[in-house]
């Protein structure tokens, strides 16, 4: 069995966790795969030191990527064991349940065993009021919108048959926190699921990485699964940033024409440059924050983004003209052009600017 441990700034937690795993899994063949997103606190050094003393420890260090779900997916796919578990590094999950989870899978009673806070015997008392409310609300939304019949689909603690996970993996989102919800929704009822209760403890050291952006990722996941992966949050964010760009463009054009003042052609150029720059920065900050470009890569990305958008503009105008030629309805032609432009910019940005 492989135990996947996603880590970001968990330097002080990984050794206690490893010691507890040793106790809880005595007599079982297991390994621990730590997936660290290049934590600035040097978590991977601590993991490597553990690995030097015990060959059951492995470390995957990811550079230029962030995200709990993506880290779990990479860790699971790096395993060759028949069963894989995911457990948080901060000791909030109950590692003593792992042997029981494994037993259920081995006995063929389930494909997926979930450590559940919201069934009889489980609890999440360590949550403050605010977080408890948010968790309950998100769980309700997920269950209703996606018709999921699991008490704790947002748990970060579970064990699954690797082969079943492998089948689902190509459709899973690497953004956000909710990998379990994604697995359940993507499987469309094809997994036999068993929940076992556990008590969600308090964090040992450090602090939670769950922020308001994670809420956004959650909504995106629900939306994507609800529309059968047709609409993604990334695309919606990209389109939203594009609309903000339109506003920036008009404000820039007005200021340049009226205040500076600069002739129309130059003003239009300035406004376009301004809008593309702000679109790039916003997309880097929001839409692609899990693979944010940093340092020297920003300039290169910006120049590529200019190029992508310039061609996108040609595509926009081209489509608008050809629609207008067939049917001279200005708004229809304009909308078709804009749609072409945003789809082009989105697809090409993903390929060239924020490529994986």
- Interacting residues with ligand GDD (CB under 6 A): 6-8, 10, 35-37, 66-68, 71, 88-90, 92, 135, 154, 156, 177, 208-210
Per DSSP, the three-state class of 160 is strand
Compute the least distance from the CB of residue 208 to ligand GDD, in Å.
4
DSSP string, 190-227: -S-EEEEE-B----SSS-----HHHHHHHHHHHHHHHT
Q: Is 218 exposed, middle or buried (0-12, 13-18, 19+ CB in 10 A)?
A: buried
- Identify each DSSP E strand in the chain by its residue range: 2-7, 31-36, 57-61, 83-86, 112-116, 158-161, 193-197
Q: What CA–CA distances, in Å, run from 143 to 35, 119, 131?
A: 29, 15, 18
14's contact among Mn ion, ligand GDD, none, with CB below 5 to 8 A by partner kind, is none
CA gap 318, 263 in Å, rounded = 26
Residue 111's binding partner out of Mn ion, ligand GDD, none, with CB under 5 to 8 Å set by partner kind: none
Residue 248 site contact among Mn ion, ligand GDD, none (CB < 5 to 8 Å, cut-off depends on kind): none
Between the alpha carbon of residue 214 and those of residues 19, 55, 178, 209, 227, the distances in Å are 30, 34, 9, 9, 20
Contact set for Mn ion, span 165-184 (CB under 5 A): none
- Picked from ligand GDD, Mn ion, none, the partner binding residue 310 (CB below 5 to 8 A depending on kind) is none
Report how far apart, in Å, the C-alpha atoms of 315 and of each of 146, 230, 250 are.
Answer: 37, 23, 21
Nearer residue to Mn ion within complex by CB, 92 or 349: 92
Partner from ligand GDD, Mn ion, none contacting 156, C-beta within 5 to 8 A by type = ligand GDD
How many residues belong to the site for Mn ion (CB under 5 A)? 3
Residue 320 and residue 330: Cα distance in Å, rounded?
Answer: 9
Q: Which of 31, 37, 90, 290 binds Mn ion (CB under 5 A)?
A: 90
Q: Please identify, using beta-carbon distances, which residue of 73 and 282 lies nearer to ligand GDD.
A: 73
**Minimal distance, residue 35 CB to ligand GDD, in Å:** 5
The nearer residue to Mn ion, 88 or 182, going by C-beta atoms, is: 88
Closest approach of ligand GDD to the CB of residue 209, in Å: 4
Strand partners, 36: 7, 61
Beta carbons within 10 angstroms of residue 81's beta carbon: 15
Q: Give whichever of 289 and 334 is closer to ligand GDD, judged by the CB atom.
A: 289
Among 92, 174, 284, 287, binds Mn ion (CB under 5 A): 92
Binds 36: which of Mn ion, ligand GDD, none (CB < 5-8 Å by kind) = ligand GDD
Q: Which residue is nearest to ligand GDD (CB)?
A: 156
CB of 9 to ligand GDD, least distance (A): 7
Among ligand GDD, Mn ion, none, residue 283 binds (CB under 5-8 Å by kind): none
What is the number of helices (H) and of strands (E) in the chain?
12, 7
Q: Identify which of residues 74 and 90 has a Cβ nearer to Mn ion in the complex.
A: 90
| Shortest distance, position 326 Cβ to ligand GDD, whole Å | 49
Please, which residues have CB within 8 angstroms of residue 171's CB and are 6 or more apart in sequence? 186, 229
Task: Choose the stretch contacting Mn ion; rule: CB under 5 A; options: 14-22, 71-79, 88-96, 136-144.
Answer: 88-96
Q: Residues in the site for Mn ion, rule: CB under 5 A?
A: 88, 90, 92
């Amino acid at each position: 069995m492989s135990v996947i441990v996603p880590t970001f700034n968990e330097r002080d937690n990984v050794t206690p966790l490893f010691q507890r795993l040793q106790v809880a899994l005595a007599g079982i063949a297991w390994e621990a795969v730590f997936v660290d997103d290049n934590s600035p606190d040097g978590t991977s050094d601590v993991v490597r030191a553990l690995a030097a003393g015990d060959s059951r420890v492995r470390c995957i260090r990811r550079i230029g990527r962030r995200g709990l779900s993506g880290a779990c997916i990479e860790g699971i796919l790096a395993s060759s064991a028949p069963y894989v578990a995911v457990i948080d590094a901060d000791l909030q999950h109950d590692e003593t349940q792992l042997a029981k989870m494994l037993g259920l899978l081995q006995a063929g009673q389930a494909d997926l065993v979930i450590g559940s806070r919201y069934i009889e015997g489980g609890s999440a008392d360590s949550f403050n009021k605010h977080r408890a409310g948010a968790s309950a609300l998100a769980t309700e939304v997920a269950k209703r919108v996606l018709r999921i019949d699991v008490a704790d689909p947002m748990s970060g603690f579970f064990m699954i048959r690797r082969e079943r996970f492998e089948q689902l993996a190509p459709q899973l989102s690497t953004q956000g926190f909710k990998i379990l919800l994604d697995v359940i929704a993507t499987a469309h009822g094809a997994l036999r699921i068993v929940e076992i209760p556990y008590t969600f403890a308090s964090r040992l050291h450090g602090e939670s990485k769950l922020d308001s952006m994670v809420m956004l990722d959650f909504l995106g996941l629900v939306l994507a699964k609800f529309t059968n992966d047709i609409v993604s949050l990334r695309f919606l964010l990209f389109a939203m940033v594009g609309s903000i760009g339109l506003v920036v463009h008009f404000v820039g054009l007005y200021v340049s024409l009226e205040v500076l003042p600069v002739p129309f052609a130059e003003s239009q150029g300035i406004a376009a440059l301004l809008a593309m720059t702000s679109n790039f920065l916003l997309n880097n900050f929001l839409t692609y924050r899990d693979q944010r470009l940093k340092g020297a890569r920003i300039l290169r990305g910006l120049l590529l983004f200019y190029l992508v958008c310039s061609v996108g503009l040609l595509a926009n105008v081209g489509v608008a003209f050809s629609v207008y030629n067939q049917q001279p309805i200005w708004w229809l032609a304009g909308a078709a052009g804009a749609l072409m432009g945003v789809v082009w910019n989105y697809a090409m940005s993903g390929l060239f600017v924020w490529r994986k």
